[in-house]
Structure 1
Amino acid sequence: REQAVWAVRTDTHFMWKLALGSNPVLSPDGQWALLVNDGLIYRVSLSPPSDPSEMPELELMFKAAGSNGSPQWSPDCTRIAFVTRRNDHSFIGIYHIAKRKITWVAPCVDRDSDPSWSADGQKIAFIRRPGLQYDDSPRPRYWYRGPADLEIWIADVNKGTARKIWSSPKDEPLFYSFRNFELTGNDRILFTAENKEWNHVYSLSISGGEPVDLTPGEGFVEHLGLSSDGKTLFFSSNRADIHGRHIWKVPTSGGKAVQLTKKDTIGTYPAALGSGSKVAFLYATASHPTSIAVVPSGGGKIDVIAPDTLPVEFPADDLVIPELVTVKSPDGLDIPCQLFLPKGAKPGDNRPGVVYTHGGPIRQMLLGWHYMEFYSEAYGINQYFANKGYVVLSVNYRSGIGYGRSFREADNTGMQGAAEYQDVLAGAKYLQERPEVDPNRIGKWGLSYGGLLTAMALARNSDIFKVGVDMAGVHDWSQLRGRLDEKMRQTARESSPVANIETWTSPVLFIHGDDDRNVPFQQTTDIVQKLRAKGDVHIELMIAPDEPHEFLLYKNRMEAYNRTFEFINRFIGKYRITSQAREKPKEENKKLSTLDIYINK
């Protein structure tokens, strides 16, 4: 399997493979792209080749010690700023293309990163963190949890001088995280940081002073887009709509933020058009899948680009509008959920129910089509279940995003106690109490962390969850983390599905690709052997050789989704399957469940 960068002309739609790799950095004049492979920086021409079957030749820009990356073009395309990482320290370098020369920017014993050019190409802003001592371990990039752990510097690239313009307070941590560092055209440095509960955008003058919070209040900022003159910031946020996403704008120097999308729109990933008159973004609603749209930068009518890309036969009228519901977890925490209630559902229907949980866990499901690929598909699957008569509840359990840092980093979650499972259980009990639902026919499905919670549901509460589909789930935390003392290892295991395998009786379908780089495939291998040894659980498998965590091949994705519905429907479904018939379970398997099994006519 290879990952490659492709180029396409917008006028002729001529397309060609540019290079193996990912994350190209385009030059301002549109003539070149920079790519990083194995700690080296390469340049490749964007001129269309005469033979589209052959990739253009990559040009190695320079050789320098360490691992070189994070390349940034100067505005005039004559220089490249980059970071060279050398274990305990890192430098900012400027490569002069014509001179074939590297100039180092204020080299020190610290870790410098994130170079950002000024609009005139005369200055570079960058981040400086302390170098590592022998007993230090490198912290994840962009996370700054201690006092005086972060400095912002500005360098004059012609004079070769640099000065510190801001540092995090020494008395208390001001920022929990720090991302999206950029020097704008009006000499303001923008960055996102989490101060207390919410991730906000801050603006800092290169003259110094204190950062200004551009997005105060409740709600977090997720995606940024800067106007060409650097004076206006467009961003997506859930402020004013904690369960959704909208596009906003605010002056980079500070001022009142203005909401550009409203009502039932989901808006993410804003990108200002060159003219400045409009901003493009990813647009979706409860019934309209994610598309590209534009809205005037002052607000107004939203225009969806290329509406013909949505098939004429798309069943928009068959979709339900999910409802926001809140369930109370046993410890009193309010858990937001989306309820998919089939059209025409009424009390006494005795419909089957399904609980869905997202992965991550740092994700948030929305009241519409999601902006991330798999979660958009998951939303579609939940709609499909609802279309077939199921009452579906999608649970935004604790440790997810969108509801503040305290919710995301709740105590005793994951391998430290699995406290989030009580939210899933609360969701299932909510479904059981719905007048439209048969309390004895509740299923469960999810991928990754959602797969973990599916396995947990079947292991701990087969009395409630009568069937489950576990996609690439974690089943034993103690085998997933390396350095754990005995007490931590015991807690990790007790927080895992394997700890309750003796009470697992409900049927399960495991779906997993054996080239999973997120969750080791052995997590599924191990639990299947344990369930087989137990001998009283109906197990089915869909194993995809060479597939990663989220399947790449369309046919494998479709098979996984079809089998998810078919498997759950076979054990708790009220409505007959309209796809190809499948065999009834063998007679010896009937003792595993007293549930009615519905298959094709």
Structure 2
Amino acid sequence: MKNTHKFLLVMGSAVILSACAATQSTNGTVDVVAPPSASQPEPTIITPVVDSNAMQDDIAITLEQIMADPDWLGRQPEAPSWSLNGEHLVYERKRVGSHLRDFYLASPGVSGNGEKVALAQLHQVDRSQQVSNANNDLTAWVFDSNIFLYDHSSGVLRQLTKDSDYPRNLTFLSDERLAYQVGNSFIAIDPSNGMREELVKWQYASKPQAVRPPADFIAQEQQELIEYVALQRRQRQEQADYDAQLQAQNNGITAAPFYLTEGHRNVQVALSPNAQYVIVVSTEDTPSRSESDIMPNYIQENGRIAAEEVRRRVSDAKPITHKLWLLDLAQNTVSELSLNQLPGYNDDVLAAVKRENAAARGEDYQVNRLPRAIGILQSWYGHSAIQWHTSGEHVAIMLEAWDNKDRWIVTVDFDQQRLVTQHRLSDEAWINYAFNQFGWLPESPSLYYLSEQSGYSHLYVKPVDGKERALTQGRFEVDDITISRDEQWAYFKANVKHPGIYEIYRAPLSGGEIQALTDLNGMTDYSLSPDHTTLLLTHSTLTMPPELYTSVISDDAMTQPVKITSTVSDEFLSMPWVAPSIVPVESSHSDAPIYSRVYLPTNVDESEPRRAVIFNHGAGYLQNAHMGWSGYFREFMFHSMLVQQGYVVMDMDYRASKGYGRDWRTAIYRQMGTPETQDLVDGVEWLVANANVDRNRVGTYGGSYGGFMTFMALFTEPDLFQAGAALRPVSDWAHYNHPYTSNILNTPDVDPIAYRRSSPIYFAEGLSKPLLMNAPMIDDNVFFVDVVRLVQRLIELEKENFETAIYPVEPHGFVQPSSWLDEYRRIYKLFEQHL
């Protein structure tokens, strides 16, 4: 028998494993093995254990069902959190046949989906910007643009505002007042009496003067010759003097504004808890969208074409520098915090890249040490770049260079009005847009932060005047930090046991061994209860969507979580879904394996070589070869359908994927598409050697970044695949957005070599196998023009074996079930015809 694969394939619904990992023994059973060392995880094949009673092999999986409205799967819990008093858990759930969500309340430790929250009580559970005071006896939040306050000791809930002003940056002050930002001002409310005070306001304008010096000869003569003009000037000055005296002698009836650089706008603002300082970050007020590009939207209610504005391309982006202002409310002074205090602020970090590109043009390049464009790090995950200590005596700010090569965490010396660098992270490729969470310990003036400086995201603690300490270390990724109020523990999630298994852990802030709090073997997220005694878990497995669990935290031993919700439909459970194995594919270009999901058919003739499909996940920096429920749930079901018909399916976490450390992430720097295609070659070789696959019957497909990879594979390795489908694909990176692309390829004006090396449109002449392109037309992420330009290029190259399907009403992520069905019918037809 040609096939020699050695891992267990099972079908049906996965059951939670009781061990860290599993491998197959010689007798075909699953052996429980000890977890690999945290610092040296072993490349183990992970094979899920499933419930054989759930198998329904006689049920045919159809495209019509799996591409239908996903309500039929069961509408899983979303956005879980805790109730105000911590006695219940709260989650959202989609309504059947509607885009609306309802809130539900359930009890920890009690199985059941709970009760739907009535609309009249929605303000108690739909809580944005939630904050608590230092004693945790008051909690405030925003609901429907208004502020609500809950007193934990009395159980009284009050509404503090009722207006159309949307409050932002909600925070408790040291004196128990509640402050919030409206426009360019901060307001404080005293909950005890409702007194509102405008603490500070600022304007981006020149400070007004009652009278100004004459601007020229004519103005000077006018003021001296015309008594009426002189009178008006005297009256204005008298009024200004009177207003200033009134303000000074009445303890400031209203806050006098601070005046900042004209023509700027807010980027981020933060008030200190002691109400003594405000940090204002501003930048030049220029349009964030393109001034020339539009996106035609052809399907409108009025029958006309709408011209929608779209974001700028990376080729049009200009360097942006932020200004940092320190507003001293007590002294009524404003100081600009100079960025020149940062180490490396004027390093020519791209000198080697510029020299290479200059040489390609036949020119020389000389190092240029002009100040770099620097600003606050604007997190993709909502973390604030300005963090005040609860005392108000310290503030930390996270900054990044516009060239993507440096990240700084700084504090402010209030006496000297200057920045003090606490931590610098440099990367020759690019600073990751993930793993940038940071903040202060509750009591001591010490920072905690995530950093990839070791090659993996780990947690560090650093006193303001002390040395950095690593709380975690090893070949795994740490994320989602929660610091306990008693300053004893740091809670986090990490993939310690295996790159594709995420559990919840905690580490003592004083140092020591980390403690595992869960052992669920899948994908697990958490929310810590208000009293820090219980974990609210969101857990999923390969074949089961996420459900909610609760687990009591114990110092002695790990407690068994209790499953709370059961929202998956019986119809979904009855289907013969295939549970893929997580396989470490040997790499020809890296010492680390390429972890991949592999779906294998059963009950097929082993003597006949199989056909196969490799799926390419999107986003580039995304992990899909994990043990949890995939965001690509339709693709998971499609792969089960293909397997049912005898296909083998592989889903690779190629280089650039998340979860495997900094080196795996940055392997694509300045060469997008090359390492990934090399990994696809290794994937095909593995399939041929281990899964009885005919190398001449392999196809590939993927969307977004996965569509880009389909292009690169078909164009640069024309014999690797016999057909490919590129969905919402990138064909030219110079047309994609700035934040994502410039990380990896720098900018086109600086590094055109990288763009020509990485953009499929430059390699289109290599197409020789059938190509399907599925393109949504109102995609404001990857523009429709990417496909249009490539189609024109293929026409001019006189290529014959390509076709294009357009979707007039779809954005980047399809919405309409009819579009999903049409798209996957075409993909399936492509594989059936050519594999």
Which TM bucket (shorter chain)? Answer: 0.7 to 0.9
Q: Within the alignment, does 1:108 sit opposite 2:337 as a pair?
A: yes
Give me the whole-angstrom Cα distance separating, in 2, the residues matched to 1:272 and 1:105.
39
- Structure 1 equivalent of residue 129 of structure 2: 25
1:531 corresponds to: 794
Give the direction of change, closer, same or farther, for the CA distance of 1:165–1:499 in structure 2 (3 Å limit). closer
For residues 481-560 of structure 1, what are the structure 2 equivalents within 5 Å? 483-484=747-748, 488-489=751-752, 492-533=755-796, 534-545=798-809, 547-551=810-814, 553-555=815-817, 559-560=819-820
SS in 2 for 1:393: strand
Q: C-alpha displacement at 1:454, in angstroms?
A: 0.9
- The aligned counterpart of 1:567 is 826
Residues of 2 paired with 1:317 and 1:497: CA distance? Answer: 39
Q: Distance in 1 between matches of 2:724 and 2:412?
A: 53
Counterpart of 1:288, as a letter, is M
Aligned to 1:134: none
The equivalent residue for 1:360 is 619
Looking at structure 2, the residues matched to 465 and 23 of structure 1 have their Cα atoms a distance apart, in angstroms, of 50
Residue 260 of structure 1 is matched in structure 2 by 517
Q: 1:367 and 1:536, CA in 2 relative to 1: closer, same or farther beyond 3 A? A: same
- The Cα offsets for residues 274-305 of structure 1, whole Å up to 9 and x where unpaired, read as 12221123211122112332222233212233
Opposite residue 281 of structure 2, the aligned amino acid is T
Cα contact 2:597–2:650 (8 A) shared by 1: yes
Q: 1:385 to 1:502 in 2, by over 3 A?
A: same
| Per-residue CA distance 1:495-540 (angstroms, 9 max, x = gap) | 3333332342333332233333332221111112333452411414
Distance 1:449 1:17 in 2: 43
Q: 1:541 to 1:80 in 2, by over 3 A?
A: farther
Q: Deviations over 1:360-384 (max 9, x none)?
A: 211121333346x4x4544444344
Change in Cα spacing, 1:74 to 1:411, as seen in structure 2 (3 Å) is closer
Q: CA deviation at 1:228?
A: 4.7
* Counterpart pick for 1:249 among 506, 528, 533: 506
Pick aligned residue for 1:235 from 492, 499, 502: 492
> For the structure 1 residues 169 and 467, does the alpha-carbon distance in structure 2 shift closer, same or farther, using more than 3 Å as the test?
closer
- Number of aligned positions between the proteins: 522
- CA deviations over 1:338-376 (Å, ceiling 9, x no partner): 2111233562343321101122211121333346x4x45
Q: Is the CA contact 1:467–1:568 (under 8 Å) kept in the aligned structure 2?
A: no
Higher relative contact order (CA 8 A, sep 6+): 2
Greater shift after overlay, 461-470 or 445-454?
461-470
* 1:377-456 paired onto structure 2 within 5 Å: 377-410=634-667, 414-415=671-672, 418-456=674-712
What is the CA distance between 1:193 and its match in structure 2? 1.0
8 A Cα contact 1:324 1:339, kept in partner: yes
Aligned position for 1:341:
600
CA drift of 1:103 comes to 7.5
1:351 to 2:610 alignment: yes
Please give the per-residue CA displacement for 1:535-585, whole angstroms capped at 9, x wherever unaligned. Answer: 41141413243x43223x2436xx33x345433332433xxxxxxxxxxxx
In the other structure, the counterpart of 1:85 is 282
Please say if residues 413 and 419 of structure 1, whose CA atoms lie closer than 8 Å, have aligned partners that are also in contact.
no
Instruction: Tell me, yes or no, if the aligned pair for 1:153 and 1:162 is still in contact at 8 Å.
Output: yes
Q: Residues 498 and 527 of structure 1 are in contact (CA less than 8 Å); yes or no, is this contact kept in structure 2?
A: yes
- Identity value in percent: 21
Which digits, 9 at most, give the CA deviation of each residue in 1:163-221, with x for residues without a partner? 97763379999x96672121232334221111131111112235x31122111122111
Q: Which amino acid aligns with 1:168?
A: H
Check whether the contact 1:25–1:71 (CA below 8 A) recurs between aligned residues: no
Deviations 1:384-423 (A, max 9, x none): 43344321111111122222212211266534x7232111
1:109 corresponds to which letter in structure 2?
S
Distance in structure 1 (CA, Å) of the matches to 2:532 and 2:563 = 18
Distance in 2 between the 1:427 and 1:442 partners? 11
Offset of residue 318 of structure 1:
2.0
State the distance in 1 between where 2:439 and 2:587 align: 41
Stretches of structure 1 that go unaligned for 5 or more consecutive residues are 36-42, 48-54, 96-100, 131-136, 574-592, 597-601
Deviations 1:313-355 (A, max 9, x none): 2237623332222334443553222211123356234332110
Q: Secondary structure at the match of 2:496?
A: coil
**Is 1:196 aligned with 2:454?**
yes
Q: Which amino acid aligns with 2:423?
A: S
Q: Would you say 1:58 and 2:165 are equivalent positions?
A: yes
Q: Distance in 2 between matches of 1:218 and 1:249?
A: 17
Q: Secondary structure at the match of 2:710?
A: helix
Q: Between Structure 1 and Structure 2, whose CA radius of gyration is higher? A: 2
For 1:7-22, list aligned pairs within 5 A.
13-15=117-119
Q: TM-score by structure 1 length? A: 0.74
Matched, 1:182 2:182: no
Partner of 1:50: none
SS of residue paired to 1:420: helix
Look up the equivalent residue of 1:144 and give its one-letter code. D
Aligned ranges 1:265-304 → 2 under 5 Å:
265-268=522-525, 270-298=526-554, 299-304=558-563
Distance 1:451 1:170, change over 3 A: closer
Helix, strand or coil: the match of 1:441? strand
Please tell me the residue identity of whatever aligns with 1:301: Q
The 2-side partners of 1:292 and 1:125 are apart by 36
3-state SS of paired residue (1:186)? coil
- Helix, strand or coil for the counterpart of 1:192? strand
> Which amino acid counterpart does residue 516 of structure 2 have in structure 1?
Q
Cα distance in 2 for residues equivalent to 1:510 and 1:16: 48
C-alpha change, 1:312 and 1:116, in structure 2 (3 Å) is same
Note closer, same or farther for the CA distance 1:179–1:115 as it changes in structure 2 (3 Å cut). Answer: same
Q: Are the structure 2 counterparts of residues 194 and 57 from structure 1 closer, same or farther at C-alpha, using a change threshold of 3 Å?
A: same
Structure 1 distance, partners of 2:690, 2:813, is 33
> Which residue of structure 2 aligns with residue 599 of structure 1?
none
Q: CA RMSD in A?
A: 4.2
Change in 2 beyond 3 A, CA 1:75/1:563: farther
Preserved CA contact (<8 Å) 1:369 1:376: no
Residue aligned with 1:454, SS: helix
Quick one: distance in 2 between partners of 1:542 and 1:126?
48
* CA separation of 1:413 and 1:305: change in aligned 2, threshold 3 A: farther
Q: Match of 2:108?
A: none
Q: Partner of 2:500: helix, strand, or coil?
A: coil
Q: 2:406 is matched with which residue?
A: 144
Secondary structure in 2 matching 1:468: strand
Name 1:127's counterpart in structure 2: 397
- Please say which of residues 404-413 and 390-399 is displaced more in the overlay: 404-413
Residues in 2 aligned to 1:318 and 1:192: alpha-carbon distance in whole angstroms: 41
Q: Distance in 2 between matches of 1:369 and 1:358?
A: 15
- Residue 410 of structure 2 contacts residue 423 of structure 2 at CA under 8 Å; is this kept in 1? yes
Residue aligned with 1:475, SS: coil
The structure-2 alpha-carbon separation of the partners of 1:554 and 1:360, relative to structure 1 and needing over 3 Å to count, comes to same
Q: Quick one: which amino acid aligns to residue 663 of structure 2?
A: S
**Deviations, residues 29-70 of structure 1 (Å, cap 9, x unaligned):** 5544399xxxxxxx63359xxxxxxx9723462423343354
